[in-house]
Amino acid sequence: MIAVDTNILVYAHRRDLPWHAIAAHRLSALAEGRELWAIPWPCAHEFLAKVTHPRIFNQATKLEVALEFLGELARAPWMRFLGESDGYWPLLSRILKAGKVAGPMVHDARIAALCLSHGVSVLWTADRDFGRFPDLAITNPLVG
């Protein structure tokens, strides 16, 4: 199962960003495909926070538009949102300790733990910080 990180969602949504076309194409292929894929809940929340933030974008996305974008993805028959479940806490604790994680990196560790606890095989992300979590395979779908 592929999971999609916040930055890929933002690029796929925002037409004014340089990686928009390829991110939108790759995300559409997931949504139209027949394989299980996922968005961790923290990534959905962070997507909403970023694209609607007027200090990040001069013309921030209206909340209704951002919600519809996520809603469209949620209607894809093979898409699942990933949340905390049994076994999440011990996994998160192990990841935090092994990666010597502190501060803002806790957010990324949370996403990694969610992915691992749900059997995600690869996380699509443009964020190289996820390399700190060797148990989680990462791929940048925007290059190569």
92-129 pLDDT, tens per residue? 999 999 989 999 999 999 999 999 999 999 999 999 99
What is residue 74's predicted lDDT score, i.e. its pLDDT? 97
Is 70 within the bounds of a domain? yes
Is 86 within the bounds of a domain? yes
Q: What is the dihedral of CA 119, 84, 56, 5, to 10 degrees?
A: 0
Is 144 within the bounds of a domain? no
What is residue 144's predicted lDDT score, i.e. its pLDDT? 72
Is 76 within the bounds of a domain? yes
Is 109 within the bounds of a domain? yes
Which CATH number belongs to the domain containing residue 90 in this structure?
3.40.50.1010
Report the alpha-carbon distance of residue 47 to residue 18 in Å, rounded: 17
Is 33 within the bounds of a domain? yes
Contact 133, 97 (CB under 8 A): no
Domain that residue 41 falls in? 2-139
Report the alpha-carbon distance of residue 1 to residue 35 in Å, rounded: 7
Is 90 within the bounds of a domain? yes
Q: Number of structural domains, the chain? A: 1
What is residue 103's predicted lDDT score, i.e. its pLDDT? 95
**What are the residue ranges in the chain where pLDDT is below 70?**
none
What is residue 40's predicted lDDT score, i.e. its pLDDT? 98
